A = this chain, B = another copy of it.
Amino acid sequence: MNQEYIIPNAWSIIEEGWNPSQVKSSESLFSIGNGAMGQRANFEEKYSGASFQGSYLAGVYYPDKTRVGWWKNGYPEYFSKVLNAPNFIGIDVFVDGEELDLATVQAVSDFRRELNMKEGWYERSFVAHFSDDKAIQVVARRLMSLEIDELAVMNYQVTAVKGDLRISFQPYIDAGITNEDTNWDDQFWEVEELLSEGHQGLVRSRTNKTNFYVATFMQSELIKNGEHLQYAEHFDQNDTLIRHKAVCDIAQGESVTLIKYAGYVSSLNHEHSDLFNAAKAVLHKATALGYESLLKLQADSWTHIWAMADISIDGDLKAQQGIRFNIFQLNQTYSGKDSRLNIGPKGFTGEKYGGSTYWDTEAYCIPFYMATKDQQVARNLLRYRYEQLDKAVENAKKLGFSSGAALYPMVTMNGEESHNEWEITFEEIHRNGAMVFAIYNYIRYTGDYRYVPEMGLEVMIAIAKFWHQRATYSQPAKKYMILGVTGPNEYENNVNNNWYTNYLAKWCIEYAVEHIHKVKKYYPADYDRIMAKTKLTDRETIEWLEVAENMYMPFDEELGVYLQQDGFLDKEIIPVNELSKEHRPINQKWSWDRILRSCYIKQADVLQCFYFFEDHFTKEQLSKHFDFYEPLTVHESSLSPCVHSIQAAKLDRMDQAYQFYLRTSRLDLDDYNKEVEEGCHITSMAGTWMSIVEGFGGLQIIDDKPSFTTKLPQQWTGFSFKINFRHQIIEVQVTSAGTKVSLEGKHAQEIILNGEHITLEPQLVNA
């Protein structure tokens, strides 16, 4: 953990001072993106020090041949890789013929980075000293346009601090890039065509195997004293790179700026043959608007986002900065416009985890997008899974399931499983339950029941079939059991009767049957279509219910708690706080077998069920289970603290809730796990949002009405947030004086505030 790294600020992430050992971490933290593409905060100019280069294009991946020791039947053929895409940010800079490289210049001073979250740009500035009488100041700002999501703009200003200097800018695009993460050192990209025309450069490349076609493009302008300068159309080119050159002499004190418009267009959105034209159209639009207008449009776009998504916290600057960073990154990662995309665990900030979609989306991310954007965004996330249902059925078939049972993949880019640890791929099947929970959560929140007959019911049926087939009847217990699973707590593998899994399975079946009946009654045409497609019989649903009704639930009478799995109490139970520090984190300090036979819990497991189905349990039950399981939890997943923060708040343990909140919200900014250089923990950021809205704000949906049970951590003087509830905006402002709730919309909305039913009229109500 490094709490001194980032300077606290309400709206910006700021780093001051030149520290080469922090470059890779800052490259992650200062990443920018616009939902369609994103990139790490690599330097524009050459940098020969340690760096982790990354530009990423949503939906473009490579199926890298799986690497395992011994093959096991059912393993997927490949592990998908997030692809480092061609570099378009590059601007090599020469000062009197000497190349600018912060790793080799005489000295660097006044180094500063700022990620301005309010307006959506990233700026880096510094003074580079080449010799005692030669120095330049650089101010390099860039943005990825939300308005034109194929476009990025760089504004690279050089000022002669010492000396009259000749500045040579060499903007380039480089398609000769590689991944840090590759199993077999395969080549991921092939370059197809390079084209240099005037001040434009274009490269079309193709991904191997997946055949995504991408045109990377650039166009530059040179500006001095507000005037566009003409410069020669000089360029170099090799098999994978186009480099232009713009030279300008400046006197001491003068500045010159290179503006570079660049970006990607891809075959996801254009015809292969039309890519260069599409790129030129983007460049035409961008240069017509110009840098200042694009900067303004960017600020406007972000103003629009913040108007809905902002959370303000008073009296705690670090907490404020943390939550805004989380909200900012989530919006950079996923805009919800494209139902083919999803939310990668590292977003556009790194390569790790090799897929875009985990159950994180359904369990942690949907509430955020549902409440801070139009409900269509959440619907698109659900639709993503619906569109991949066939592949989930295929996946289950590979494992021996039949007649349309579906197992959604643990990790995926396109619906196919692309993870290959048997204990995860084959056994962490609770993920299937999260798919149905997300549908339930969506309908509960939005009231958009149409989704069920349109798409949701087919998913529910396929998943109910899976659970039915996956259960085993235990003769001794006279109950159905689910053997050989891994729960959310991945520090247990191949256990029997993980309570969370069994509970979800039972619930999934019952929920599916409930909605089969409902669709039959209210949407008979859809019902007929779905029954014809799924060939579901009454007999089969009766068998499902037999399994659901007789599902085994491990429970200890003496303790009065559900057991994480069979045999859990046979372990040596020692609370985490009695474990000496040298043993932690256990995933780094202990061998895998020691972790497995220990009682320690990686992230909420039993408590995840209490989170999902809060209303199925009493507060006393929650309290008892929290008291038993939390002390055994090491929170070594980024998804762990948020659930515990919410539950601690429910239980009025505000100090604990606050500590968990801080840990989740500043996980990356304070680099808790000393790994931020690999990228940020994007999906857990949605959990941070939940800790405030569902934890301190106590949001629940009860009988179609939002309910808030608000609690103010003593470290804060107040906080406020908004939610988009069924096309109207509800704002909640909590201070020590009480809670104010207001409504922006057209018609009255009934809510529950701290237990009281209230009708909000548009534009003013408080309590």
| Residues of A bordering B, CB below 8 Å | 66-70, 72-74, 79, 398-400, 420-423, 426-427, 472-477, 481, 483-484, 493-496, 566-567, 569-573, 587-594, 596-597
Nearest-neighbour CB distance to chain B for A24, whole angstroms, equals 20
How many angstroms between the C-alpha atoms of A572 and B420 in the bound complex?
Answer: 27
User: With A73-B587, A472-B571 in contact, is A399–B484 under 8 Å at CB?
Assistant: no
The reply to whether B593 and A427 contact each other, CB–CB distance below 8 Å, is yes
Q: Flag if A421 contacts B70 (CB, 8 Å).
A: yes
Considering the complex, give the chain B residue whose CB is closest to the CB of A596: B484
Contact of A420 among B67, B69, B473, B591 (CB under 8 A): B69
**Contact A567 B420, beta carbon cutoff 8 Å:** no
Closest 5 CB pairs of A and B: A74-B591, A426-B593, A484-B597, A474-B570, A72-B592
Taking a contact as CB atoms under 8 Å apart, the answer to whether A481 and B420 are in contact is: no
25 contacts between A and B (CB under 8 A): A66-B69, A67-B69, A68-B69, A69-B79, A69-B420, A72-B591, A72-B592, A73-B587, A73-B588, A73-B589, A73-B591, A399-B594, A423-B494, A426-B592, A427-B593, A472-B571, A473-B572, A474-B570, A475-B570, A475-B573, A476-B569, A481-B570, A484-B593, A484-B597, A493-B494
Which of B70, B483, B588, B594 sits near A400, CB closer than 8 Å? B594
When distances are taken between beta carbons in the complex, the residues of chain B under 8 Å from A588 are 73
From B398, B420, B592, A422 is in contact (CB under 8 Å) with B592
Closest beta carbon of chain B to A524's beta carbon, Å:
38
Measured CA separation A590–B422 after assembly (Å): 13
CB of A500, distance to nearest CB on chain B (Å): 18
Chain B residue at smallest Cβ distance from A407: B593
Main secondary structure, interface of A, reads loop
Closest residue of chain B to A552 (Cβ to Cβ) is B570
Whole-angstrom CA separation of A566 from B568 in the bound complex: 12
The residue in A398, A420, A591 that gathers the most chain B C-beta atoms within 10 A of its C-beta is A591
Name the B residues within 8 Å of A67 (CB-CB). Answer: 67-69
CA distance A573 to B475 in the complex (A): 9
Q: Using A399-B594, A496-B570 as known contacts, list a sample of 10 further A-B pairs with CB atoms less than 8 Å apart, ordered by residue number in A.
A: A69-B421, A399-B593, A400-B590, A422-B592, A422-B593, A423-B494, A474-B570, A475-B569, A484-B597, A566-B566
Residues of B within 8 A of A74 (CB): 591-593
Q: Give every chain B residue within 8 A of A474 (Cβ-Cβ).
A: 569-571
Residue of B nearest to A583 (CB): B400
- Greatest chain B CB density within 10 A among A79, A495, A588, A594 is at A594
A473 partner residues in chain B, CB cutoff 8 A: 572
Task: Give bound CA distance, A426 to B591, whole Å.
Answer: 8
A67-B67, A484-B597, A567-B496 known; A572+B472 contact, CB < 8 A: yes
* Residue from B72, B399, B590, B597 in contact with A472 in the complex, judged by beta carbons closer than 8 Å: B597
In the complex, the answer to whether B476 meets A570 with C-beta atoms within 8 Å is yes
In the complex, chain B residues whose CB is within 8 Å of the CB of A398: 591
Nearest B residue to A481 by beta-carbon distance?
Answer: B570
Complex CA–CA separation, A477 to B494 (angstroms):
22
Q: A576–B594 Cα gap in the complex (Å)?
A: 35
With a cutoff of 8 Å between Cβ atoms, the chain B residues found around residue A483 in the complex are 567, 570-571, 597
Task: Tell me the minimal C-beta distance from A82 to chain B in angstroms.
Answer: 16
Query: A473-B572, A474-B569, A569-B474 given as contacts; is B73 within 8 A of A592 (CB)?
Result: yes
Question: Is A566 a contact of B567 with CB atoms below 8 Å?
Answer: yes
Q: Which residue of B lies closest to A396 (CB)?
A: B591
Residues of B with C-beta under 8 A to A69: 66-68, 79, 420-421
Bound-complex Cα distance A567 to B422 (A): 21
State the CA gap A288–B220 with chains docked (Å). Answer: 84
Min CB–CB distance A556 → chain B (angstroms): 8
Using CB atoms, name the residue of chain B closest to A484.
B597
Most chain B CB atoms below 10 A, which of A423, A494, A589: A494
Contacts of A496 in B (CB 8 A): 567, 570
Asked if residues A73 and B597 are in contact (CB atoms below 8 Å), the reply is no
Distance to closest chain B CB from A606 (angstroms): 18
A253 CB, nearest partner CB in chain B, Å = 55
In Å, the complex CA distance between A572 and B481 comes to: 10
Interface contact B399-A591, CB-CB below 8 Å: yes
Please, which residue of chain B has its CB at the minimum distance from the CB of A483?
A: B597
Distance of A407 from chain B, by nearest CB (Å) = 10
Across the interface, which residues of B come within 8 angstroms of A570, CB to CB? 472, 474-477, 481, 483, 496
Give chain B nearest CB distance to A231 CB in angstroms: 49
Minimum CB distance partner of A420 in chain B: B69
When chains A and B are docked, how far (Å) is the Cα of A5 from the Cα of B491? 50
Complex: how many Å from CA A398 to CA B592? Answer: 11
Chain B residues whose CB sits within 8 angstroms of the CB of A72 once the complex forms: 591-592
Instruction: Give Cα distance in the complex from A746 to B421, angstroms.
Output: 61
Q: How far is the CB of A521 from chain B (nearest CB, A)?
A: 37
Q: Min CB distance, A671 to chain B, in Å?
A: 21
